A and B are shown apart, each in its own frame.
Chain A
Amino acid sequence: MGTPPAGRTANYRAFMAYFSSQLRRSWQASCHLFFGVPVAMAAFLGCFAVPIGVFFTLFVIGAPAWPEIVRILRRFAGYERVRAGGWLGKPIPELYLPLDGSPSDRVRLALTDPGTWRDALWLPFATVSILGFSAVVLVLWPLTLLVDGTAAAVRRSLERRDTAPFDPAPEPPRALLLPVFEILADAQARWTAALLKPSASTKLGQRVAELSESRAGAMEAHSAELRRIERDLHDGVQAQLVALSMRIGLARQQVRNDPDAATEWLDEAQEEIDATLAALRGIVRTVHPPVLTDRGLAGAVRTLAVSADIPVEMNLAAVENGHRLPAAVEAAVYFVIAECLTNIRKHSGATQASVRFTRADGSLQVVVTDNGRGGAEEHGGSGLLGIRRRVAALDGTTEITSPPGGPTRMKVELPCGS
């Protein structure tokens, strides 16, 4: 009988599945190139518009029009970026100097932005590559259907006749011309990406801008912190010392005439001193917890665990002996863990918690988890907002997951040099 053995049938089925998916992908690649044809035509027009624009700009007559031309050019290139990025499956970043300021500024910016000239260079490339590849695709389709179609048909009839014993092909044969479409579309998109992505110097400029921004943020947080300390010292401690001086003065006045009253004033003075010292300790603690100086971060976290009231499992190897971090990072981490453990004790009903440190690529990661009831609220004074602020001030990130029913997991990542 002409029924092929089961193994052969499976081979054939696998080949047909491959063949049809390859056919679909080749068709998509062709569509991608064909949809580029209007882009290519517009780019063709642009090849003339840009030199004309430059010409007018140079002779001042058309200078105000130049930024507008550049704007259109940017939007146009942006469209192609999205299209090519979509095909490649990863977005092509877009980075231009913003065109604002006075009209002459705009003209200058539009002329000096290296992005403008990369876009201009891209215009003829788009015209040629898209039109050229589309033409190739047009010619290639009939040829492909002929070659690969025939091959498939021949294969099918061979499978039907063949009664030889089961002999699985080591590698199922591939289509010959079908993959070419994808190669063409890929190449076109990749070249587009190479031409339209921001140049290294633009990227560097962008990074500098980002860094100055985060530095400015850090400076701002730092200044706010200094202002807070200044206020606490002035309004708190200083005022308390003045009140104290007054009480001692009153005691001095009355020490002869009314020793009892003087003693009372001195008692009050001493109470005032106790309060002042407590306030001062509180301020010092918020600036830099003394236990960090005594014991380092690992030791300080251990002291937190001692007062946590529930077992806290710790993995501190990353910050153990000799792994000192910048003081601000240590203080922030200590603050975060203290806050977390307080929250856990107050709200979670957990019977166990864990604190883990890991270091990689110049950043420190701290994960605090508990086995409590979850549902931690960002608002409502749970201290989570304070944690976020403190971490953000150091350019770090905070992630909190706390589904109702638990568990709560908090991940903080802070840059800490190397």
Chain B
Amino acid sequence: MRILIAEDNALLREGMTLLLTRNGHEVVATCASGPEIMPTLRRTEPDAAVLDVRLPPSFRDEGLRAAVAARQEFPELPILVLSQYVEQAYAAELLALGARGVGYLLKDRVGRVEQFLEALERISEGGTALDPEVVNEIIQQRASTRSLEGLTAREHEVLELMAQGLANAAIAERLFVTERAVSKHIRGIFDKLNLPAEGTSVHRRVLAVLAYLGNDISGEASR
């Protein structure tokens, strides 16, 4: 994959470049500030972009804004947004662009090389990657008001991984169970929560689960 990285911290920029090239990807360009991103994207036309939220010159949410702008200009470009901290509202803003090929992860996750690469892979194939911390926070908050009590512990785990954007095979691998078992759990969850019949694509499934949990997490940001 040809990848663009926007990250102002030289240490992390180098580290990520090393990590990606070692694993068979090509880093076509790196940006150290927000305004560089769009011109560089136009020039290099990468297969995916990895953007840090906080970038110079103002050190606010340039990366997030660049993601929105890039989405408008290159709707098919997979974008992974990395951040020092996660905010539910930011996740909502990103998902408002459509869950296809969008990721929002804590920078910490880069250290888990396999999982990070898998997430990047997933996004580049049109999937979704949502940080476990965001998902966890949403589930924690909604658990009291929505009927999640009926779910078994295992179904809970499957629900979380589903909301993070994992496909059945990946969920099976994480939980050390067979894919068939995962499908069974998912059917159980969809039945108990009265969600529309499963079988649609993974990123649609993410939105359905989040919509159920978060009331309207993706609609909120389109104010």
Contacts and interface: CB of A to CB of B under 8 A. Distances in A.
B89 A306 contact: yes
7 contacts: A273-B111, A284-B85, A303-B88, A306-B220, A309-B145, A345-B141, A345-B144
A273 B106 CA distance: 13
Contact of A307 (B59, B88, B108, B144): B88
A291 interface: yes
A357 to B, nearest CB: 18
A75 interface: no
Interface residues of B, number: 27
Contact of B141 (A274, A290, A295, A307): A307
Contacts of A295: 60-61
A309 B217 CA distance: 9
Nearest to A296: B60
A345 B215 CA distance: 14
Contacts of B92: 306
Given A278-B108, A284-B85, A307-B89, 4 more contacts: A281-B84, A290-B85, A306-B89, A345-B141
A198 B111 CA distance: 68
Contact of B61 (A274, A294, A306): A294
Interface string A149-180: 00000000000000000000000000000000
B112 interface: yes
Contacts of A270: 111-112
Interface string B43-73: 0000000000110000111000000000000
Contacts of B85: 281, 284-285, 290
B14 interface: no
Interface SS of chain A:
helix
A208 interface: no
A293 interface: yes
Given A306-B220, A309-B215, A294 B88 contact: no
Interface string B172-207: 000000000000000000000000000000000000
B60 A294 contact: yes
Contacts of B142: 309
A346 B144 contact: yes
Interface string B121-159: 000000000000000011001101100000000000000
B84 A309 contact: no
A71 interface: no
A293 B141 contact: no
Contacts of B214: 309
Given A303-B87, A307-B88, A309-B142, A293 B60 contact: yes
A278 to B, nearest CB: 8
A302 interface: yes
B1 interface: no
A277 interface: yes
Interface string A253-287: 00000000000000000100110011001001100
B141 A294 contact: no
Given A306-B92, A306-B221, A307-B88, A294 B54 contact: yes
B90 interface: yes
A270 B84 CA distance: 17
B108 A277 contact: yes
Contacts of B106: 277
Interface in B83-134: 84-85, 87-90, 92, 106, 108, 111-112
B148 to A, nearest CB: 13
Contacts of B215: 309
